[in-house]
Amino acid sequence: MTRALRERYDAQALLAAETERALGGAGGLVLLRGATGTGRTAVLEAAAAHAERRGLRVLRTRCSPEDAGVPLSTAGRLLGHVPEYAGMPSADYHRRAERLWELLRSLAANSPLLLAVDDVHLADPSSRRWIAEAAGRIEGLPVLLVATERRQYDIDPQPAGLTHALPASLVRTHTLAPLTDAASTELLATLLPAADPAWAADCVRAGAGHPLLLHALSEDLRGTPPHPLPDTCAALYPGAYPAAVSWWLDSAGPATAEVARTLAALEEVGTPDATDQAVDPPALLAEASGADPARVAGWLTAMTRLGLLRLDAAGRRRYAHPLLRDAVLTDWPTARRQAVHLAAAEALLYRGVRVEAIARHLLRAPVVGKPWALRVLRDATTVAVDASRPGDAVGYLRRALDEPLPDALRQRLLTELGSLEYLCADAGAAISRLGEAVHLGGEPRDRVHTAIALGTALAGQGEVRTAMEVLRRTEAGLSGHPGPARSVRIASVMLSDYEQAQRREAYRWLGEAAGRSPDLVGTAGQALLVRHAATAGLLSAQDAMKRLHALLAEPADPFGEPFLVCTAATVAQWADELDEAEQLVERGLALQRSSLLHPMHQALVDIRADIAAARGDHARLLTDGAGGTGPGGTGPGGTGPGGVRAGAGPTNTDAHVLMALVHADRTDEAQRFAAAFDLRRAPDSWELNRFLYARGVLRAAVGDEAGALHDLLECGRGQLAREVISPVVTPWRTAVAERRTGPGRAREAVALAEEELRLAQVWNTPRTVGRALRVLGAVTGGRRGLELAGEAVRVLRDAPSDLDMELIPALLAQGRQLIAAGERARARDSLREAAERAERKGAVRLHALAGEALREGGARHRTPARTGSAALTGSERRIAELAAEGRTNTEIAELLHLALRTVETHLTHAYRKLGIRGRGELMDALGRHDGI
């Protein structure tokens, strides 16, 4: 025979043997069966070519649907022109059939024959009858009759095949299976020799083992350099592949094509997972397509065996490749697709599956106009928000707005949608949505939510004056509603932090209003005045916390409580009450609807970062920052983790990330990160000042003293312009003093450090006082400087909170001054403690500085314990021992007055250092390492 076709050896051998029998005068019928595209025609053509070489005369015909209306048209076309037909009635089958038989006998008398009939299933019924009858009459003639027949499982059952009534002795039947992956790869290598293995594997899956599809795909890809195979047919030219798939669908019939396309449409959305036990995929597919469920189940099995469908990791049947799925959907009317998705959504709804599985279909369905659709979309939004997938929530809300809605509900949905779009860094769309919502009527509470969300978005984009105007107009429309009006007023004060002039005006008004009538500003406004007094250097931490505790004890105002709790958390963090601050942050976040834009949400996220920085949790800062604007995040000015800001300037999180990179001694990375921000475009806000301070610290770390001084002085200028005098936020004076080391500048450095100490003593917390004492001691020098350094260490060591990130520099400063005073033994103790604390904190740069100072002092740096109970901090040991006694994390938190997260963090660190996996191993681990 001709060159062997891949994996068609059995068929070729059968046809070769039957050809030899025909040459010997023993005719017969060979029926080649197979699904569309499996190569029936190719095998038939190869058999015909082989027969011609063996001396047989080949007569061939290909059947088509047009043959059905003309009796014996296929048989007549096969044998040639039959002039006697002209006088015979078309309904006289027997006379016509007999004449054809006589013609066949005469042709066989002249030469052995091969009669090749392609697609016999499309032949007219009388021709199929004649061919079946001929199979029993050619046994003694040199005639081989070879026919191909499409046989596969379709939704509409197929009619009986050609040989269903023939005895097995009269026919040789062979079924062609799809090609294996190995054979498909070999075929593809001849069609596209340049294909690399990965690309070829993709093509094999798209071809599904069908030579028809593989040849068509190679035609579209010929000349294309290897690259990932596209998922859409729009990328193919000239379009042979989708045309081949379309032909396969046409040959399968309209019912099968409808089910195939429905499956493709449902697969695009994604089928419910294994947890949705109420969903039977064949039943869902049948209901969406309107087909018989039993036939659908059989079709799915058959298509999997044919290779067009494959099982995914979850055991679900899916198209072998996205490109095949897309080709199946080509030219399917949009209206029909939408109807399928609506039917699927309704089917899933009544099966009680998860709302998101239903909502994904509603996204592609037409407007439903029934309450259940809106309910599903809103519930799906809530699920997506809770799972931190705001992008999905945006899609559900956009679709929900297509449904008929009353204005009040439309306002609420627009507000939520705009808030989520802002969270997704689509500020333009967000402001447009929120602007539309502001002009719709609604309840006072809803109007407040919308106005605050729009004001927050505008302020975040630098449009602070516009934000203030929006809030003023909203407040003016809330006469008779004191609570909502007061909430809008307080929001205006909070948002004024983004611009100096607005801030001064807002706090001036707040102070005057509180003086006239405290009720006018409420507990939240009074808390803001406490915060303002703290930053102005007019209040001690103890007095500030006392006032805030009194305000927190008052009956809660639902409109003002978020502002009150957030302000209290800010001041608690400044006051070194880190556990209380953390508890207030969690309380504040619980009061927030994460799907609504609110200035307190970002403020609480900022405070959480401040707490992590105060504790020296650099790993957490870098991890959180990577999800937003940190390294590997969305870039400068993007949305921070859990935040809602998308402005052009750096955020508070960015400043902390920059500082964390410096502490981790990743200064090259820190410089690249800092350089990504164009501070000329940044609004003149407190966040810019924070970032200038952080960049000043970075520049000092890399030896750029002039650049460091510039940034630190600019930070100070900005803070003073905002009436932020106290070092509680950014200790720029001490940072500048450390840089004033040149000749003749010592007096200036001392003056700055003394001013910082004076202000720190007003606030009177270990962190601010200890830092100021350390720097004043360093710039003063001598015996007095050494005394100040020792006092700084004592203040910070006695602090109730974990302030190692201030204690470590104090120990370093003390050690260096002791070396200068000739007290090397004492210096080594301080420096070794600094090195050990720095290593535990992951403060690589401080650890390196401690090692350098130790070497300067003539000591070898001992490597501190990294594991075992000796590596535990005091807090870690205390919490680990309580846990080993069987106390729960909640009980430990209550006993030690700590936040639950603090307990969890300390336990995690303890597990790692002790080399264990859980609390069940704590008792043995603590005893083993302590030698008990």
What pairs with residue 150 in β-bridges? 34
Distance CA 179, CA 202 (A): 15
The pair of three-digit structure tokens given for residue 77, joined into one six-digit string: 């076309």
- Average of per-residue pLDDT across 481-494: 92
Check: CB of residue 616 under 8 Å from CB of residue 663: yes
Q: Which of 541-555, 672-686, 720-734, 896-910 is predicted least confidently?
A: 896-910
The pair of three-digit structure tokens given for residue 552, joined into one six-digit string: 């927190």
Q: What is the pLDDT of residue 643?
A: 38
User: How many CB atoms lie under 10 A from the CB of residue 310?
Assistant: 15
The pair of three-digit structure tokens given for residue 369, joined into one six-digit string: 């106009």
Higher pLDDT, 861 or 528: 528
Tell me: the pLDDT tens digits for 390-425? 999 999 999 999 999 999 999 999 999 999 999 898
- Average of per-residue pLDDT across 173-192: 93
Q: What is the pLDDT of residue 863?
A: 47
pLDDT band of residue 273 (cuts 50, 70, 90) is: low
Q: What is the pLDDT of residue 352?
A: 87
Q: What is the pLDDT of residue 740?
A: 84
Q: Residue 616: phi, psi to the nearest 5?
A: 75, 30
> At 305, which amino acid appears?
R
- Average of per-residue pLDDT across 244-263: 95
Q: What is the pLDDT of residue 154?
A: 95
Higher pLDDT, 451 or 277: 451
Higher pLDDT, 759 or 352: 759
Residue 311 three-state SS: strand
Q: What is the pLDDT of residue 161?
A: 87
Tell me: the pLDDT tens digits for 98-130? 999 999 999 999 999 999 999 999 999 999 999
Provide the percentage of residues in the chain whose pLDDT is more than 90: 65
pLDDT over 50 (residue 686): yes
Task: Spell 465-488 as b/e; 16+ CB within 10 A means b.
Answer: eebbebbeebbeebeebeebbbbb
Distance CA 355, CA 387 (A): 14
Residue 149 three-state SS: strand
What separation, in Å, do the N-terminal and C-terminal C-alpha atoms of the chain show?
87
User: How many CB atoms lie under 10 A from the CB of residue 549?
Assistant: 12
Tell me: the pLDDT tens digits for 886-918? 888 888 887 776 777 778 878 887 887 787 878
Check: CB of residue 470 under 8 Å from CB of residue 655: no
Q: What is the pLDDT of residue 799?
A: 84
User: How many CB atoms lie under 10 A from the CB of residue 667?
Assistant: 16
Tell me: the pLDDT tens digits for 45-59? 999 999 999 999 999
Q: What is the pLDDT of residue 860?
A: 59
Q: How far is CA 204 from CA 22, 307, 330, 471, in A?
A: 38, 10, 20, 61
Tell me: the pLDDT tens digits for 790-800? 999 999 988 87
pLDDT over 50 (residue 207): yes
Distance CA 662, CA 664 (A): 5
Tell me: the pLDDT tens digits for 525-567? 999 999 999 999 999 999 999 999 999 999 988 889 999 999 9
- Residue 226 CA, distance from chain mean position: 28
The pair of three-digit structure tokens given for residue 494, joined into one six-digit string: 């909070």
> At 283, which amino acid appears?
A
Q: What is the pLDDT of residue 691?
A: 96
Question: What is the gyration radius of the CA atoms in the chain, in angstroms?
Answer: 41
Q: Which of 36-40, 704-708, 821-825 is predicted least confidently?
A: 821-825
Q: Residue 147: phi, psi to the nearest 5?
A: -125, 150
Q: What's the chain's length in residues?
A: 932
Higher pLDDT, 38 or 82: 38
pLDDT band of residue 198 (cuts 50, 70, 90) is: confident
Residue 712 three-state SS: helix
Check: CB of residue 448 under 8 Å from CB of residue 559: yes
Exposed/middle/buried for residue 26 (C-beta within 10 Å: 0-12, 13-18, 19+): middle
Q: What is the pLDDT of residue 226?
A: 60
- Residue 867 CA, distance from chain mean position: 36
Q: Which of 61-65, 498-502, 532-536, 559-563 is predicted least confidently?
A: 498-502
- Average of per-residue pLDDT across 808-817: 94
Distance CA 695, CA 712 (A): 8
Q: Which helix (H) or strand (E) element contains residue 150?
A: strand 143-150
- Average of per-residue pLDDT across 254-274: 86
Q: Which of 89-103, 309-323, 411-425 is predicted least confidently?
A: 89-103
> What's 696-748 look like in SS3?
HHHHHHCCCHHHHHHHHHHHHHHHHHCCCCCCCCCCHHHHHHHHCCCCCCHHH
The pair of three-digit structure tokens given for residue 350, joined into one six-digit string: 């009544």
Nearest to 26 by CA among 34, 18, 16: 18
Tell me: the pLDDT tens digits for 631-668? 333 333 333 323 334 456 898 999 999 999 999 899 99
The pair of three-digit structure tokens given for residue 609, joined into one six-digit string: 């970062």
Distance CA 850, CA 840 (A): 13
Q: Residue 113: phi, psi to the nearest 5?
A: -125, 145
- Average of per-residue pLDDT across 369-382: 97
Q: What is the pLDDT of residue 867?
A: 58
On the question of a cis peptide bond just before residue 125, with omega within 30 degrees of 0, the verdict is no
Check: CB of residue 649 under 8 Å from CB of residue 679: yes
pLDDT over 80 (residue 570): yes
User: How many CB atoms lie under 10 A from the CB of residue 443?
Assistant: 13
State the chain's mean pLDDT as an integer.
88
Nearest to 840 by CA among 907, 913, 791, 745: 913
Q: Which range, 79-83, 86-90, 570-574, has the best average confidence (pLDDT)?
A: 570-574
Distance CA 508, CA 529 (A): 10
pLDDT over 80 (residue 852): yes
Q: What is the pLDDT of residue 862?
A: 53
The pair of three-digit structure tokens given for residue 555, joined into one six-digit string: 């009956």
Q: Which of 383-392, 413-422, 616-625 is predicted least confidently?
A: 616-625
Instruction: State pTM to two decimals.
Output: 0.78
